[in-house]
Amino acid sequence: MSDYRPEPDSPSMDAPAPAQSPTEAHPPLLGCLYCHTEGTITLNEGRKILGLGSGLPTLTCKNCGSVAVFDASARNGTWRIRYRRVNREPLYYYAMVYLGGTGWLDAEEAMEISRRAFVQRRRIQQVEAGYLNWLNPAPLDPPPPLMSPDEMVYVTIAPVTFQQTSRGGAVLSQEEENVLDSGHFFLTDKKVHLLGQRRDWSHKLQDIRDVTYTDRYWRIYVGSSNQYYQGVNQPDQIDAQLCAAIVRALMK
Ligand SMILES: [Zn+2]
């Protein structure tokens, strides 16, 4: 963090400065909240043209390319940030969804999301390297009906739906997503299970055809028909990217 110094001739910001110079004091200027590289942030003065525009400065990271509007004049001598352009590579998934997909974030929120994004990136790297012990896998006692007593449960998520895609009416041959069931989901070293409201569902890991994720949900496609398990993205639990990575790691 000590490497970064503002250019000596850079103009001072319009915002009323707190006791310290804002360019020295605020974390987003020292390290990138998005990719966590230090010393890669450039502060560009905001411009007001014909009275338009916020006049607020922008922060650009030369490592990940993210651009954020930065407001150092927020209440109580703190700051806020709003990402305008972000790097959408899978490496930055968590930051993309929770830093990039939002409006203004105050200092506390932005720092917390940034911290989580850092941890999540490490988790993904661990999982891709096959390290899953941090999930504390353990058998369920007693196991639910379709689970054998020696299956190790790695992940439990609720609610998860079991769905099927089918072609819609003849006129608009669009795909319809039908929810077949919903309930508690378990991912074990051998199978995926759903204790549904209607019945219990279970598929072997080797019967998984594909695992996908978006910024909103993860999906595990199973069997020969267009059936899949789906869970929503939960930032404070196992997010969609991490869930998909864990399934892939267990399938190996
Ligand atoms: Zn960056």
Q: How far is the CA of 59 from the centre of ligand 1 (A)?
A: 10
Q: How far is the CA of 103 from the centre of ligand 1 (A)?
A: 18
Q: How far is the CA of 66 from the centre of ligand 1 (A)?
A: 6
Calculate the CA 72 to chain-centre distance. Answer: 26
pLDDT at 55: 83
pTM for the model stands at 0.83
Q: How far is the CA of 45 from the centre of ligand 1 (A)?
A: 18
* C-beta of residue 193 within 8 angstroms of C-beta of residue 147: yes
Q: How far is the CA of 64 from the centre of ligand 1 (A)?
A: 4
Helix axis angle for 107-128 and 240-251, nearest 10°, is 10
Task: Write out pLDDT tens, residues 142-154.
Answer: 999 899 999 999 9
Q: How far is the CA of 216 from the centre of ligand 1 (A)?
A: 23
Query: In which band, very low, low, confident or very high, does the pLDDT at 168 lie, cut at 50, 70 and 90?
Result: low
Q: Is the pLDDT of residue 205 over 50?
A: yes
The whole-angstrom separation of Cα 121 and Cα 116 is 9
Q: How far is the CA of 30 from the centre of ligand 1 (A)?
A: 11
Q: How far is the CA of 211 from the centre of ligand 1 (A)?
A: 28
pLDDT at 8: 42
Non-local (6+) Cβ contacts of 89 within 8 A are none
Q: Residue 191 phi/psi, 5° resolution?
A: -145, 170
Q: How far is the CA of 65 from the centre of ligand 1 (A)?
A: 6
Average pLDDT of the residues of the chain: 87
Q: How far is the CA of 10 from the centre of ligand 1 (A)?
A: 21
Task: Write out pLDDT tens, residues 25-76.
Answer: 688 989 999 999 999 999 998 777 666 667 899 999 999 999 999 998 866 7
What is the Cα Rg of the chain in Å?
23
Segment 215-244 shows an average pLDDT of: 92
pLDDT at 24: 53
Q: How far is the CA of 86 from the centre of ligand 1 (A)?
A: 9
Q: How far is the CA of 36 from the centre of ligand 1 (A)?
A: 6
Q: How far is the CA of 100 from the centre of ligand 1 (A)?
A: 12
Delineate the domains of the chain, giving CATH numbers in brackets: 22-128 (no CATH), 133-251 (2.30.29.30)
SS3 letters across 110-148? HHHHHHHHHHHHHHHHHHHCCCCHHHCCECCCCCCCCCC
pLDDT at 177: 84
Q: How far is the CA of 61 from the centre of ligand 1 (A)?
A: 5
